[in-house]
């Protein structure tokens, strides 16, 4: 059995007395067992991308339904305890409890009153620009009117989650006070998704809380979805992006390139003067799309107007 020298023994006692010594033992750190079990960063990144797609699709759906320009932005994705999530919600507000079949969990979808009442005004034929700010609970009639709006949201939410799991989101209940939500324990972990909805001059928040335990059950599904999206997009995704891009405006122009001219010479030009361009007659002209050469062709006449005849694609 090896014996320690006096120098080694002194070094051991020195490390015990000196807390800053690299060999000294680390101090114990108190652990809070109420802290929610964390979700991996790569999984949160996949959730962020999933609900970013949901925000874009929801903006299109609400714009078509309300006949108004709607912008939906994903603001935050974070993991909180259910108690912290409830405390962040205004009171009173509009909340729906969502079933997540085939899973047993319950999610929460909340919309701020600053957004709900302008939406109700628009659904009833108004402009939604009223300056009155209400701080009250919605009535049963108003809840029935909002159900159609929630169905549109849940349809887009289901489509967004379809790539991970075929979850059927259904309305299981309604609440107006966050303190009355008791389907999860206060220490239960949820993933909170915050979305900002802007309709004209009206802006409000929409919050979605999903139990973390369900997301953990689908971890392998998120991993597969994330790896597929990183490698290549699907034909459905490409078609969706193309349908959005098709509506974009493109500025077209044809330029006859020529020599440069000084301001002094330009001021001396008079009626009858001839300018010589460095362009051979019959040589194809370039058609620029948003400043970039895209086609080659000739300027032709179409009735009383000038037109451009495309002869070749610029490679």
Question: Is 302 among the domain residues?
Answer: yes
Give 141-185 pLDDT, tens digit per residue: 888 888 889 999 999 999 988 888 889 999 988 888 888 877 778
Task: Say if CB 160 and CB 237 are below 8 A apart.
Answer: no
Between residues 258 and 235, the one the model is more confident about: 235
CATH number of domain containing 292: 2.30.330.10
Give 174-223 pLDDT, tens digit per residue: 888 888 877 778 888 889 999 999 988 888 899 999 998 888 888 777 66
For 307, the domain range is: 249-261+280-315
Q: What pLDDT is stored for residue 241 in this prediction?
A: 84
Question: Is 34 among the domain residues?
Answer: no
If one counts every other C-beta atom within 10 angstroms of the C-beta of residue 59, the result is: 20
Same domain, 214 and 285: no
Same domain, 213 and 309: no
d(CA 202, CA 24): 59
Question: Is 127 among the domain residues?
Answer: yes
Report how many domains make up the chain.
2
Question: Is 8 among the domain residues?
Answer: no
Same domain, 137 and 253: no
Same domain, 231 and 302: no
Same domain, 198 and 67: yes
Question: Is 131 among the domain residues?
Answer: yes
Same domain, 164 and 253: no
Same domain, 99 and 241: yes
CA distances from 247 to 12, 241, 244 (A): 74, 11, 6
């Amino acid at each position: 059995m090896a014996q320690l020298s006096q120098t080694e023994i002194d070094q051991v006692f020195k490390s015990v007395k000196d807390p800053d010594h690299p060999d000294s033992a680390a101090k114990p750190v108190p652990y809070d067992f109420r802290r929610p079990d964390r979700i991996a960063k790569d999984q949160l990144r996949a959730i962020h991308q999933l609900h970013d797609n949901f925000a874009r699709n929801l903006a299109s759906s609400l714009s078509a339904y309300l006949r108004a320009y709607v912008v939906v932005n994903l603001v935050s994705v974070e993991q909180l305890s259910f108690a912290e999530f409830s405390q962040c919600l205004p009171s009173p507000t509009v909340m729906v409890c969502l079933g997540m079949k085939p899973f047993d969990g319950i999610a929460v979808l909340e919309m701020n009153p600053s957004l709900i009442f302008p939406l109700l005004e628009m659904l009833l034929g108004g402009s939604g620009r009223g300056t009155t700010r209400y701080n009250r609970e919605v009535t049963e009639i108003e809840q029935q009117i909002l159900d159609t709006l929630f169905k549109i949201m849940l349809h887009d939410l289901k489509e967004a989650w379809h790539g991970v799991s075929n979850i059927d989101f259904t309305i299981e209940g309604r609440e107006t006070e966050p303190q009355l939500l008791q389907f999860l324990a206060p220490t239960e972990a949820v993933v909170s998704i915050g979305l900002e909805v802007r309709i004209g001059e009206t802006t409000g928040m929409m919050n979605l809380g999903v139990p973390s335990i369900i997301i953990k059950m689908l971890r392998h599904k998120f991993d597969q979805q994330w790896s597929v999206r990183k490698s290549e997009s699907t034909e459905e995704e490409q078609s969706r992006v193309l349908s959005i891009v098709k509506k974009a405006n493109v500025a077209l122009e044809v330029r006859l390139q020529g020599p440069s001219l000084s301001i002094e010479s330009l001021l001396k030009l008079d009626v009858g003067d001839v300018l010589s361009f460095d362009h051979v007659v019959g040589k194809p002209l370039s058609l620029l799309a948003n400043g970039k050469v895209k086609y080659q062709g000739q300027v032709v006449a179409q009735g009383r107007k000038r037109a451009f005849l495309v002869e070749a694609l610029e490679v």
